[in-house]
Structure 1
Amino acid sequence: MVVVVENHSLAQMRDQMPYTYALATRYGYATDYRAITHPSLPNYLAMVSGDTQGVTNDDPPAKHRLSAPTVFGAALAAGRTAGVYADAMPSPCASDNAGRYAVRHNPWAYFVTERADCGRQDLPISALPGAIRAGKLPNAGMLVPDACNDAHDCSLATADRWFRTWMGRIVAGPDWRSGRLAVVLTADEDDKHSGNHVLTVVAHPSLRAKVVTSRLDHYSLARLYAEVTATAPLGRAAGAPSMAKAFGLPVAG
């Protein structure tokens, strides 16, 4: 399950997200993880498709009708599960901004060839508590905060509290207790002042204070999706350093 906050550097996240950084030091984090570019949207596309798809702005899906495969579609095609839970989203796979829901932070909505799957599996956050309780969190998952809870429009302290609330629920659920679930928190990009150097936390019951100093990036995250779903890495993820290897995570056979 991947969670993304907005527009802050490693130093800012470390200093202003005390719960998140405590989780990092308890389980694991990367000290040299880099976003790919600016602005937001191409970074999200890189995470889920292994490429920025030539996108250089934050325009909505009507302006970017992408036909490349995603990690979610690849997981479903392999008989595994995929799902996105989006905070403040008014309807499944919504392709327009609405209130604090920012579609540019929900990348699956841009891939037209997977629109039907997105409509079934890219859901408002109200669907998340039931999935946690039932032990049915997806093999390839993403949890999308709204534009306040991801620290875009509000503080990192707000994002930290939001993440703490959901992590409390997640770690009480059967997916986490069984050891089959890893949670990754990263930032889409920094504030353009730190070389796109962002904090990336990896939490899994098997990890104990793991610090990864080797270079990783959003293509590595796309590769991690492939590794945990036993699917082929997409695009540039195929040549990216392995997060599973770097952190020593158990992955699908």
Structure 2
Amino acid sequence: MVFSIAKTGRLGLIGTLLAAVLSATACQPGVGAGTSASASPSPEPAKHVFVIVLENTSYQLALRQPYIASLSRQYALATNYSAVALPSLPNYLAISSGSTWGIRDDAYHQLPAGGIGAQLTSAGISWKAYMEGFTGNPFAYYGGACPSNVVPMTNLGPDLKAGTPQLSWITPGLCNDGHDCGLRTADRWLSQVVPQITSSPAWRKDGVLFITWDESSANDSRVALLVVTPSLRGQITMPLDHYSLSATISEQLGVARLGQARQATSLSKELQAARVQASPSGS
């Protein structure tokens, strides 16, 4: 499934009008995000975290694609990672706020202000969400308004060269995310975008890129999670899910975990151990 604030036929006339207003104004530069969630700034410098979320692909199918398979060999692959709900929208919300908010559809729902974006803004930590269209954008749901941090995908290239935010959330459009045009198209898109990220000063300095899928295309919840960072290799076999990713993102950026991510297993210990081992003073 796919969700979009511009596709709301299921909501009736009121929902359609609301979505039209949001599509026309909420995600344009200069529109505020409403009330931000409170958070204390981290005493540690925030690292650079990149997140790419693709659509509707089982673990097995993802690993059959040539570029995705090459990333799994070169970096780290979580082999026991799961989506937390059906359909798409609650999974995006789980990653970005630690909660599905009880949502079981892909319709537009105005949620309370909050989520990782508002939390980072409150903490003074830079972030942007790079969108190739309006689909796959969870940030428009929190507080009923989309922050100016949500920008077109075309901004990614220049930002990777200079001024990379500490969180870069990257959502391709319906073709490049594998939803409409197949996973081979998504694999080719990744082969073009990932090298831009891994050659950037931000990623090379202290960055980690997470690549995952919102939900499986098989009759299970298992999806792949690729952890692309210079210091971590091999398979990660412990049970993880989208709440684990939410927890890891928060910890890497030095802010408190949100919602059900508070109880989730994160990857921060593994990332830190790999960094220490890779450092000149590591043993």
Band the TM-score falls in, shorter-chain normalisation:
0.7 to 0.9
Counterpart mapping for 1:144-155 below 5 A: 144-155=171-182
How big is the alpha-carbon RMSD for the aligned residues of Structure 1 and Structure 2? Answer: 1.6
Q: Secondary structure at the match of 2:265?
A: coil
Q: Secondary structure at the match of 2:224?
A: strand
Counterpart of 1:123?
Answer: 151
Q: Kindly indicate whether residue 103 of structure 2 is the aligned counterpart of residue 72 of structure 1.
A: no
After superposition, the C-alpha distances for 1:8-60 in whole angstroms (9 at most, x for unaligned) are: 11101001x21112112111010000000110000000000000011110013
Q: 1:19 aligns with which of 67, 72, 90?
A: 67
Q: Secondary structure at the match of 1:21?
A: helix
**Alpha-carbon distance between aligned partners in 2 of 1:53 and 1:140, rounded to the nearest angstrom:** 23
**Alpha-carbon distance between aligned partners in 1 of 2:167 and 2:195, rounded to the nearest angstrom:** 20
Fraction of identical pairs, as percent: 36
Q: Kindly indicate whether residue 218 of structure 2 is the aligned counterpart of residue 187 of structure 1.
A: no
**Alpha-carbon distance between aligned partners in 1 of 2:259 and 2:101, rounded to the nearest angstrom:** 10
Distance 1:141 1:250, change over 3 A: farther
Counterpart of 2:239?
Answer: 215
Q: 1:110 aligns with which of 123, 141, 156?
A: 141
Do 2:139 and 2:147's aligned partners in 1 also have CA atoms closer than 8 Å?
A: no
After superposition, the C-alpha distances for 1:108-167 in whole angstroms (9 at most, x for unaligned) are: 111116x3xx43111011111110010x22222210010010100111110011011111
**Alpha-carbon distance between aligned partners in 2 of 1:79 and 1:250, rounded to the nearest angstrom:** 25
Do 2:59 and 2:223's aligned partners in 1 also have CA atoms closer than 8 Å?
A: yes
Higher-Rg member (1/2): 2
**Alpha-carbon distance between aligned partners in 1 of 2:231 and 2:215, rounded to the nearest angstrom:** 28
Which amino acid in 2 is paired with 1:214?
M
Structure 1 unmatched ranges of 5 or more: 90-100
Q: 1:196 aligns with which of 221, 234, 237?
A: 221
**Alpha-carbon distance between aligned partners in 1 of 2:239 and 2:84, rounded to the nearest angstrom:** 12
User: In the TM superposition, what is the alpha-carbon distance from 1:246 to its structure 2 partner?
Assistant: 4.0
Q: Kindly indicate whether residue 111 of structure 2 is the aligned counterpart of residue 83 of structure 1.
A: no
Which amino acid in 1 is paired with 2:211?
L
**Alpha-carbon distance between aligned partners in 2 of 1:157 and 1:59, rounded to the nearest angstrom:** 28
**Alpha-carbon distance between aligned partners in 1 of 2:86 and 2:164, rounded to the nearest angstrom:** 30
Shift >6 Å, 4+ stretches: none
User: In the TM superposition, what is the alpha-carbon distance from 1:192 to its structure 2 partner?
Assistant: 4.0
Do 1:84 and 1:123's aligned partners in 2 also have CA atoms closer than 8 Å?
A: yes
**Alpha-carbon distance between aligned partners in 2 of 1:217 and 1:247, rounded to the nearest angstrom:** 17
Q: How many residues in Structure 1 have an aligned counterpart in Structure 2? A: 226
Q: Secondary structure at the match of 1:29?
A: strand
After superposition, the C-alpha distances for 1:221-251 in whole angstroms (9 at most, x for unaligned) are: 1101110111110000000001222444659
Q: 1:169 aligns with which of 184, 190, 196?
A: 196
**Alpha-carbon distance between aligned partners in 1 of 2:264 and 2:60, rounded to the nearest angstrom:** 24
Which amino acid in 2 is paired with 1:108?
F
Which amino acid in 1 is paired with 2:106?
D
Q: Kindly indicate whether residue 172 of structure 2 is the aligned counterpart of residue 142 of structure 1.
A: no
Which amino acid in 2 is paired with 1:123?
V
Which amino acid in 2 is paired with 1:70?
G
After superposition, the C-alpha distances for 1:188-209 in whole angstroms (9 at most, x for unaligned) are: 000142x2101110001112x3
Do 1:210 and 1:247's aligned partners in 2 also have CA atoms closer than 8 Å?
A: no
TM-score normalised over the length of structure 1: 0.85
Structure 2 unmatched ranges of 5 or more: 1-49, 277-283
